[in-house]
Structure 1
Amino acid sequence: MKSHNLATEPPTRVPQFTIRLSSTRRGARLARRLAGQQLAAWGIPYDSETSQALALVTAELASNAITHGHCPGRDFRLTLLLLPEHGVARVEVTDTRPERALCDPAAEPVPPDAPSGRGLLLVAEYAERWGWMVRDAYTKTVWAEVQWSA
């Protein structure tokens, strides 16, 4: 079941990795690499479908954070969680532009000749569920859950 625009809270006692990264292309690339490395540290092989899917989703969410959610001098935050009881690995990317809500890619199709705008379609395809939440006046978190099997 795929969904979006749901504000869900992950359980508190799960394997978690969090890091602040610069809102630059280098920071976005690092987010993707760290996602794969962290999953490997948790026992999910680097070349597995789960790892590759989560790396792709992380890259897209980080890219969106630096392109659309960036304020000068402000970093973005990457959080990875392993939720074995739900069978998913979850990525959260928090940026500094809460006023920039996300559009539903299925509701607002991108013209075929547009140079960009298809990233959330990739997220929707690879993620079991995804969405976003605004917790305060300063940040927005976009999250996605990728199916994981032991």
Structure 2
Amino acid sequence: MTTSPGQVRRPTLPLPLPEQTVFSFRFTSSPRGARLARRLASCQMDAWGWRYDTPTHDAVELIVGELAANAVTHGRVPGRDAALRLYRRDGEGRVRIEVSDTCGERLPVVRDAGSEEDGGRGLVLVAALAEEWGVAPRPAAPGKTVWAVVAAGAPPAPRARR
């Protein structure tokens, strides 16, 4: 497929860029979409300077994974996408994570860690890793946004390339 000189072909996936302070991505409401959201969040954190295997990077990656999995499992509406947004707040030393779905009727429930039920521990992990988290209705759209804020501090100094 060719593009005419007047058309600009955009990549199908957002590129993780170090200079952007907001990373936004819509993903299909499927397990594959949730995995992609987690992977892209991981790449964006690395682009921002929080390298793989650092506590901030791993906390954000795990929280995105849990929230995205919840969105596609409990907030799925056929034919509707979910959305991921990461906000880098340099002045505050924090990263805000938002995962939105289109099902506002089912709100997240935190289960007791000692419960005999299978599953339902993801939000316990989110609460343990985040400074704060919560749920808000989506403005001017159906559904909800589950958000979390992770204390990030300044990114570590860049590693020397070999």
- With the shorter chain as reference, the TM-score category is 0.7 to 0.9
TM superposition shift of 1:111: 5.2
Verify the 8 A CA contact 1:98 1:137 in the aligned structure 2.
Answer: no
Verify the 8 A CA contact 2:93 2:153 in the aligned structure 1.
Answer: yes
- Is the aligned partner of 1:119 residue 2:122? yes
Relative contact order (alpha carbons < 8 A, sep ≥ 6): 1 or 2 greater?
1
Q: What SS class does the counterpart of residue 91 from structure 1 fall into?
A: strand
Distance in 1 (alpha carbons) for counterparts of 2:121 and 2:100: 20
Verify the 8 A CA contact 1:15 1:81 in the aligned structure 2.
Answer: yes
Identity %: 47
| Aligned residue in 2 for 1:144 | 148
TM superposition shift of 1:139: 2.0
Q: Which has the larger radius of gyration?
A: 2
Deviations 1:33-81 (A, max 9, x none): 1111001111111221100010000000000000110000111001011
Match of 2:131 among 124, 128, 140: 128
Q: Which runs of 4+ in 1 moved over 2 A?
A: 108-113
Deviations 1:77-107 (A, max 9, x none): 010111122221111000011121223x2xx
| Aligned residue in 1 for 2:44 | 38
- Is the aligned partner of 1:84 residue 2:87? no
Verify the 8 A CA contact 2:23 2:44 in the aligned structure 1.
Answer: yes
TM-score between the two structures when normalised by the length of structure 2: 0.78
Structure 2 counterparts to residues 1-150 of structure 1, below 5 A: 15-103=21-109, 105=110, 109=112, 112-134=115-137, 135-136=139-140, 138-150=142-154
Count matched residues.
134
Verify the 8 A CA contact 2:113 2:124 in the aligned structure 1.
Answer: no
Deviations 1:97-144 (A, max 9, x none): 1121223x2xx5265321111111000000011001002451210000
Q: What SS class does the counterpart of residue 138 from structure 1 fall into?
A: coil
**Gapped regions of structure 2 (runs ≥ 5):** 1-19, 155-162
**Gapped regions of structure 1 (runs ≥ 5):** 1-13
Distance in 1 (alpha carbons) for counterparts of 2:86 and 2:49: 14
RMSD of the alignment, in Å?
A: 1.5
User: Aligned AA for 2:50?
Assistant: I
